[in-house]
Structure 1
Amino acid sequence: MMNSGDKTIIEEVVEDKEPVVDSKIINTEEDLVKIVPRGRPKGTTKPDAKKQRLQREAAVKLWKRGVLHWKLDSNQKSLYENYHTTKNNLLVWCLSRQTGKSINSSTYVITETGPKLIKDINIGDIIYGYNKDGSVSPTKVVDKIDCGVEEVFDLVGNGKVLAGCTDEHYWLVKNGEGNLLEKPLKDFNEYDKIVTVVNGVTDSVSVRKENRRMEQCWDITVDNDTHLYLTGDGLVTHNSFLISLLAIEECIRNPNFKIAYVLPRQNQARKLIKSRFNEICIDCPKELRPKFNTQENVFVFDNGSEIHCIGTDSGNIENARGQRFDRVFMDECGFMDSSEFDYYYKSVLFPTMNTSKRRLTIMISTPPSSAAHTFNKYIKEADYKKAYTRRTIYDCPRFKGYEIEEMANAVGGKDSIDFKREYLCKLLADTNSLVIPEATDEKMKDIIQTWKRPAHYTCYTSGDFGILDWTAFLFAYYDFRNDEIVVEDELVFNGKEYTTIDMADAIKLKEKMLWGDKLPESRICDTSWQIIVDFNNLHNLSFIPTRKDDKNAQINALRMKVSGKKLKINPRCINLIFHLMNATWNKARTKYEKAADGSHFDCLDALIYLIRNINYHKNPYPKDYDLPKGGFYSPKQKQQLTDVQQSIRDIFTVKRRR
């Protein structure tokens, strides 16, 4: 029995004393992480008392050090490492969606003591959760969020009002094919039925929306393996993590650290962030928990650090002006106003980090539903700079194969646009604006590869000159027998600080490295005669000017090469690959838009000039290349004949009359 003067293990840890477990001092982060449970806390799991004591002790110690990565799954940990090791100022993550929800005050939730209004539910209450195996079991409420007044609807089924919720609220439904999936109310169709569990019997019910109105709403988070729970009439309903954990870690580790957490709507920012924070902080020591300032929408830590919840709607983004931030986390970027997105980031948010020693922005979202959304530009720029990360539903360890199959079937199959965008995080291609729409991910898998150079080939150097922009050169050869154009390497000069001397030296070195003493069949470029003469007279490099008429036909010739996979590009040609896959027309389709890398897709034009000027009819192989050595007779070849051969020759030789 513990005396009143004794202190608990947790109190010792809070006082920064080294905890002692089984006569062993636990101090290293590695040892502590081994003790705490993996992933998010599971309130329904009840280990033995000793294990609970060890886990509490280790968790408190890690919280005090600002170490929270033990709460992450394997997929989230890879992103966590990306965040802590990046040297970029901007990271873009396209991740599978996880969203929140809201239920109105008059909806009942089933608790262990009977139905209870959601507005009267408290953290710690036991309600009934719906598990992955279809069973129902008690689970703890770990968070309750006041979502404010929102637009709600009654859900009417079986002749009565079953619940009330917002259009964004997620329910477990059975669709027309009998598949189970989680779906927001706004996406319901006539075949969807909400799953119910009444008296232990699982069923489903059709509902319709009625009585649209404004009402106080609430959101709760439960601690089972699905985050699903039962409302008063047995309806099964649903309950986003890494970015919030990173924010909390930074603020605990770094006093006076300031973070802007930005979402499309102010109300959404307050609701979702509070929900995530409460979930993460379920085992956080009291003195480390941030306090939420409702008026300012700011989480405040005792060490002076702050996390500001900011929406981009209704002018709320202007609240960030005049602030100083060390980090900016922009969530759901694909659903912010496309026409204002550049303004949000470049004019308002980025300047707030000017005085920070290590400024960093993370943009997170599933891809936008429109290919023209401004966020797509940031994705492509980050991809080019190796600062882009994409995680699909297959990367998430919490979903099994059959569950992913159900998700795919619910949105029209794995080949549907919705599945590719929402679950595979693939960017929608606006085929009307892409210069080479055939350069898809699938086609490029065959095009981007190393190609075994044949015994005989004709090689070419092709260039697109820019005065203020890029100058790009491609080094390629034509594989006559396989009818393949193979681009082996590239050179890019950005800006006018480079002279023709720099370019000529680099071209000679590259050709020497690739082809030794073999000279190109021709060097092609689009520049003026004066530069061509300079290259020839001053640098001993002969270029010929390319024709530039009928450009659409030349682009179409390239498109046919891509479509027919008669083009191979070495993986080291990163600029060419980026330009080929991302070149877009301006609205008038008169010229290319400016690329995310600052170019005007100059490598693409160099490729077009190359394809136009290759001599496809020249056979580089010797005439007798395939003939076996010996065993054949060539009239041009002097050869000593045997007596028999000479006799046969004499028989068939016609003698001239004298």
Structure 2
Amino acid sequence: MALSEEEQLKARLWELGDLSYLLHDGQDFIRKKYHETTGRRFVVNCSRRYGKSYLACVLALEHALRHENSQIRIAAPTAKMVRSIIEPHMRNILLDAPRTVKPKHLKNMGNWTFPNGSQIHVAGCDAGNAERHRGTEMHLGIIEEAGFVDDLEYVCQDIFLPQTITTDGRIVMLSTPPRTPAHPFAMYCAQAEAKGNYVHRTIYDAPHINDRQREEYCAESGGKHSTTWRREYMAEFVVDETRAIVPEFSEYEKAIVGEIDRPKHFESYTAADLGFKDLTFVVFAYYHFPRDLMVIEDELVLERSNSGVIAAQIKEKEKKLYGDQEPAMRVVDADRIVLSDLSSIHRLRLTPARRDDRDAAINALRLAVTNKKILIHPRCTALRAHLRHGVWNKARTSFERSGEFGHFDGVAAACYLLRHALRGKNPFPIHGADISEETHFIPKRAVNGGDIAEVVDIFRPRHRRR
């Protein structure tokens, strides 16, 4: 039976590897941008319901058709997603494929093999499935819903990237923003945007969705200012308030970030959450007694550092900030061996951090932010990022882990600081400014504070018993 003119035209497009006729204008915009760029990584950050998964399949098929003996890999967050989204899209698209170029699908192997020798491999990244993407070479790697791949950096840097070294292959990431900007997808977006290999598309760029549908989606999402609408449909990087560790920080950040002159008398504090696999995060602060304000003046962020390096850097930072004044307290969360090394070998006076009643400690931090009882110096960029982007894991049993932000260790350090600082202690001398040890006899117990009742008792007249 002879092919119709339309069928002949489609067959010719398949032979040329041009499947743009299958895409709406919004998808084709991204496709053209991809072909115009040459960067190793091409990143697409776009709205839900845009058709990015379908586009991912089209890009993979076009490459397989145009370049013989190509190895193409599509990674999805889960194996279930492969079965429910990727495979149905591939099956529907291939209904148009003429027999001369149509691939054979080996479902149990998760691949499609083309007559020209090209192969498309598809697998999830959960439950160890990411290892199925390993191979000797890869010409195109696509990571679908990259913002929801738990170990995106590992998949991209350790599995995909080495396979492109000898092929000049490319890696494409497509996703809606993850539930926290701390996810590595946000970092890849920023890097790609800086190099011109980035596309951002919102629900308003999707031509197949009309105004009525957009309004309906918006209302169902909670309105234009809701986290869901901004993240899922405007493709903005915002923290999910239901998982944020300190959800108040985004609202009060401008109010609690700034500088203030130190009072003449103050007590300083050093608080640290030490890690090796995770970050070592140290904050340096003092209590502003007249303002009842905890002022965090600086931070120290280290990776995979031993106790000697940590001790040296803490001492250096304290010296720079406070001169010879010893901190009132150094509170540290670390295992006993590290604490012992810091104390006995490196001569740091330490107080082990309390780790009980975690929720109460976090609530105290949240209240300090809300009530503006904490001030963070602008140079503390890492601490601000941890407070801004920090989220709980899905089970809410601990903080989420992120490649760039570690275990949000800055949040823990801030909690330890507020929990242990002696906020009620008056650092100002009890006697007047014109009275000193050089002009008056002052008992040692009355110098630099002490119990008020005890000092008063010292000067109370004594009456003889009759």
The alignment's TM-score, normalised by the length of structure 2, stands at 0.58
8 Å CA contact retained: 1:408, 1:414: no
1:414 positional shift: 0.6
1:462 positional shift: 0.7
| Residue identity in the other structure for 2:259 | K
Indicate the residue corresponding to 1:462 in structure 2: 271
**How far apart, in 2, do the equivalents of 1:573 and 1:624 lie?**
36
* Deviation per residue, 1:89-115 (Å, 9 max, x gap): xx86531246469xxxxxxxxxxxxxx
Indicate the residue corresponding to 2:303 in structure 1: 494
Secondary structure (helix, strand or coil) at the match of 1:293 reads: coil
| Residue identity in the other structure for 1:500 | S
Indicate the residue corresponding to 2:47 in structure 1: 96
Indicate the residue corresponding to 1:452 in structure 2: 259
Secondary structure (helix, strand or coil) at the match of 2:183 reads: helix
Mean alpha-carbon deviation: is it higher for 466-475 or for 606-615? 466-475
* Count of equivalent residues: 378
Counterpart pick for 2:286 among 477, 489, 502? 477
Q: How does 1:501-650 map to 2 (within 5 A)?
A: 501-527=308-334, 534-536=341-343, 538-570=345-377, 573=380, 575-580=382-387, 581-584=389-392, 587=395, 589=397, 591-592=398-399, 594-596=401-403, 599-618=406-425
In structure 2, relative to structure 1, the CA distance for the partners of 1:428 and 1:348 (3 Å cut) is: closer
Indicate the residue corresponding to 1:232 in structure 2: none
Higher relative contact order (Cα pairs below 8 Å, separated by 6+ residues): 2
8 Å CA contact retained: 2:48, 2:203: no
8 Å CA contact retained: 1:100, 1:272: no
Indicate the residue corresponding to 1:419 in structure 2: 229
* Deviation per residue, 1:184-227 (Å, 9 max, x gap): xxxxxxxxxxxxxxxxxxxxxxxxxxxxxxxxxxxxxxxxxxxx
Q: How does 1:171-570 map to 2 (within 5 A)?
A: 258-261=71-74, 264-269=85-90, 292-295=101-104, 308=120, 310=122, 324-332=137-145, 351=159, 354-357=162-165, 361-367=171-177, 380-383=183-186, 407-408=214-215, 411-412=218-219, 413-416=223-226, 418-425=228-235, 426=237, 429=240, 431=242, 434=244, 436-439=245-248, 441-444=250-253, 446-447=255-256, 449=257, 451-456=258-263, 458-466=267-275, 469-495=278-304, 498-527=305-334, 534-536=341-343, 538-570=345-377
1:611 positional shift: 0.6
Q: Which has the larger radius of gyration?
A: 1
* Deviation per residue, 1:99-137 (Å, 9 max, x gap): 469xxxxxxxxxxxxxxxxxxxxxxxxxxxxxxxxxxxx
In structure 2, relative to structure 1, the CA distance for the partners of 1:586 and 1:330 (3 Å cut) is: closer
In structure 2, relative to structure 1, the CA distance for the partners of 1:310 and 1:541 (3 Å cut) is: closer
**How far apart, in 2, do the equivalents of 1:550 and 1:440 lie?**
21
1:606 positional shift: 1.7
In structure 2, relative to structure 1, the CA distance for the partners of 1:362 and 1:480 (3 Å cut) is: farther
**How far apart, in 2, do the equivalents of 1:504 and 1:349 lie?**
33
**How far apart, in 1, do the equivalents of 2:289 and 2:322 lie?**
17
8 Å CA contact retained: 2:160, 2:171: no
The alignment's TM-score, normalised by the length of structure 1, stands at 0.44
Secondary structure (helix, strand or coil) at the match of 2:319 reads: helix
In structure 2, relative to structure 1, the CA distance for the partners of 1:84 and 1:92 (3 Å cut) is: closer
Secondary structure (helix, strand or coil) at the match of 1:604 reads: helix
In structure 1, the gaps of 5 or more residues are 1-39, 42-70, 102-239, 279-290, 628-633, 639-658
Q: Give the aligned CA root-mean-square deviation in angstroms.
A: 5.8
8 Å CA contact retained: 2:268, 2:286: yes
8 Å CA contact retained: 2:267, 2:427: yes
Q: How does 1:100-139 map to 2 (within 5 A)?
A: none
1:594 positional shift: 4.7
* Deviation per residue, 1:448-494 (Å, 9 max, x gap): x4x22314254321112347654332122334455443433332343
**How far apart, in 2, do the equivalents of 1:329 and 1:525 lie?**
43
Secondary structure (helix, strand or coil) at the match of 1:541 reads: coil
**How far apart, in 2, do the equivalents of 1:505 and 1:347 lie?**
36
In structure 2, relative to structure 1, the CA distance for the partners of 1:404 and 1:505 (3 Å cut) is: farther
Mean alpha-carbon deviation: is it higher for 91-100 or for 324-333? 91-100
| Residue identity in the other structure for 1:422 | E
8 Å CA contact retained: 2:203, 2:233: no
8 Å CA contact retained: 1:464, 1:527: yes
1:332 positional shift: 4.4
**How far apart, in 2, do the equivalents of 1:247 and 1:574 lie?**
44
8 Å CA contact retained: 2:70, 2:118: yes
1:557 positional shift: 0.6
**How far apart, in 2, do the equivalents of 1:381 and 1:353 lie?**
15
**How far apart, in 1, do the equivalents of 2:385 and 2:298 lie?**
14
In structure 2, relative to structure 1, the CA distance for the partners of 1:459 and 1:360 (3 Å cut) is: farther
| Residue identity in the other structure for 2:45 | C
8 Å CA contact retained: 1:268, 1:311: no
8 Å CA contact retained: 2:43, 2:199: no
In structure 2, the gaps of 5 or more residues are 1-19, 22-27, 76-81, 106-110, 440-466
Indicate the residue corresponding to 1:166 in structure 2: none
Indicate the residue corresponding to 2:5 in structure 1: none
1:616 positional shift: 2.3
**How far apart, in 2, do the equivalents of 1:246 and 1:509 lie?**
54
1:424 positional shift: 2.5
Secondary structure (helix, strand or coil) at the match of 1:411 reads: helix
Secondary structure (helix, strand or coil) at the match of 1:607 reads: helix
**How far apart, in 2, do the equivalents of 1:257 and 1:613 lie?**
60
Secondary structure (helix, strand or coil) at the match of 1:606 reads: helix
8 Å CA contact retained: 2:272, 2:281: yes
8 Å CA contact retained: 2:271, 2:414: yes
**How far apart, in 1, do the equivalents of 2:187 and 2:360 lie?**
29
8 Å CA contact retained: 1:472, 1:606: yes
In structure 2, relative to structure 1, the CA distance for the partners of 1:437 and 1:307 (3 Å cut) is: farther
In structure 2, relative to structure 1, the CA distance for the partners of 1:266 and 1:605 (3 Å cut) is: same
